[in-house]
Amino acid sequence: MPKIIHIRELTVGHDVDIEEYRHIIDSRDFQRLRNINQLDFNYMAIYPGVRHTRFWHSVGVLECERRIIDMVNSRTNGYKFSESESATAKLAALLHDFKHSPGSHGVETVLEGVGEPDHDTKTVEVLHTLEEKIKKVPSIDFDLLIKIFKREHPLYHTIWDLVGSDVLHYLNDDAIMAGLNPLTDADSIIAHIAYDGEKYGVMFKKREVVRKHIEAYVRQYLTFYNAKACALMKGLLRRGVYEAIEAGLKPSEIWEMNDFELAIAMHNYSPLSREILERILYRRLPKAFLTIKIQGYEAFEDPGNKFNKVFTLPEKKLANITKQLKNAEKVIELERSIEKTLDYNPGSITVADMPEIRLLKEKDVNLQKKSGEWVTLFTMHPQYAQYRKEFLNGIRREYTFRIGVHEHLREDAYKHADEVFGLLTPLI
């Protein structure tokens, strides 16, 4: 009897046949994903329902990729995936988070900051050690699998593009698990996927669905994944892991851990990493005392808290700060500098984790016309140039950089907000 996993695929229940991948799914590396939350510790910040895992998501992305491939192959005319392309792309989808770090992306930035590779590179390293096991999957082209993970073959677009199986699955699933209404019509996008062996996108006639999808993607990133409490929580986790590494935790060992094992390591390696873990687990979150908005968009910051000072910067200068602070060592250096300046205990200051503005602004999707010609959504027509302007204004309106502090220190930190802002000058 084939092995079945039952998941909610997008908005309905779905049985996923994983029999041909069973020997991989049953491996320790893949089972590790059962205990890595998809959204790290966001369930402790705002959304208690987001307890779904990287395992759940990986199986969902496999099914999403299967639907994309079946849709392309079902058409009378156009490109057809070969048997090996189909099998290999589906396996790549299943394994796309295979060596994701525990604690999600916030921990990965710490690992990269101390010389470790990103999780895709780490996945490639491990796949080479599992080559014989992987080749037991019918019709697999191992060399093609490696090229997909290295982004050297166009099939990678079917997984990691903005309308790829990864994004389509997590945008819907994360929203549903958080108790929110999904803002993107993934079923319609999958039904109109276009691929010619080189370029990947959506049929031109669904350009309005795609436009709403891009807007939903950015809105979800800024108001859900990086909501104030969530961004500060990720910053707190980053500091705790960094302190544990400084106390002797080997970065290479973190790749083998799940969330529980990472928490145990934080508890055991240093008093400060233990204190930070307890703050996360008992939701003693930092409170923002310094906020920076893009110049002209400061009115969109909630003025309700009198101990949160709002500054403004031109977009390019704020972008410089957030770009440099993707380096975990620079973030920790800044946090420690603020703590020393204000004479606070180590771990008192938290810089919120935020995505780079540049990466959000670059979002676009390929559209294929009936003639076979490809265009991109925001460059095809003056009307859509206006939509892009509105899209960029939406990013600028929501984008916010914050520095937080222990709640009992907030009023004092607020009094020194100008001094702390001055410490950011070298990053500008």
pLDDT in tens, 383-401: 777 778 888 888 888 888 9
Query: Band of the pLDDT at 428, cuts 50, 70, 90?
Result: confident
Instruction: Provide the 3-class DSSP secondary structure of residue 266.
Output: helix
Helix (H) or strand (E) holding 5: strand 4-9
Condensed to tens digits (0 to 9), the pLDDT of residues 372-386 reads 999 988 877 677 777
CA distance 238 to 302: 26
Least confident of 7-21, 69-83, 143-157: 7-21
Could you give the domains of the chain?
4-225 (1.10.3210.10)
pLDDT for res 3: 55
Residue 218: per-residue pLDDT: 83
Q: Residue 10 — pLDDT band, cuts 50, 70, 90?
A: very low
- Contact status, residue 226 vs residue 355, Cβ threshold 8 Å: yes
Q: What is the pLDDT of residue 89?
A: 97
Q: Please tell me the least confidently modeled range out of 4-13, 292-301, 389-398.
A: 4-13
pLDDT of 11 reads 42
Q: Return d(Cα 313, Cα 214) in angstroms, integer.
A: 26
> What percent of the chain lies above the pLDDT cut of 90?
59
Residue 1 has pLDDT above 50, yes or no: no
Structure confidence by residue, pLDDT tens digits, 172-205? 888 888 888 877 899 999 999 999 999 999 999 9
Mean per-residue pLDDT over the chain, rounded: 89
Q: What's the pTM?
A: 0.91
Rg (CA), the chain: 22
Q: pLDDT tens digits, residue range 249-289?
A: 999 999 999 999 999 999 999 999 999 999 999 989 999 99
How far, in Å, CA of 178 to CA of 357, rounded?
A: 24
Residue 12 pLDDT greater than 60, yes or no: no
Pairing mode, strands 12-17 and 4-9 = antiparallel
400-405: strand order across its sheet: 309-313, 287-294, 400-405, 349-351
pLDDT band at 304 (very low <50, low <70, confident <90, very high): low
E strands, 123-209, in order: 193-195, 200-203
Mean per-residue pLDDT, 115-143? 93
pLDDT at 5: 57
Phi, psi (deg, nearest 5) at residue 95:
-95, 10
Q: Are strands 366-368 and 200-203 parallel, antiparallel or unpaired?
A: parallel
Question: For the residues 146-161, what does the mean pLDDT come to?
Answer: 96
Alpha-carbon distance 428 to 423, whole Å? 10
Query: What does the DSSP 8-state code read for residue 53?
Result: B
Average pLDDT value for residue range 20-40: 89
* CA-closest candidate to residue 288, choices 399, 397, 395, 417: 417
- Angle subtended by helix axes 328-342 and 104-113, to nearest 10: 90
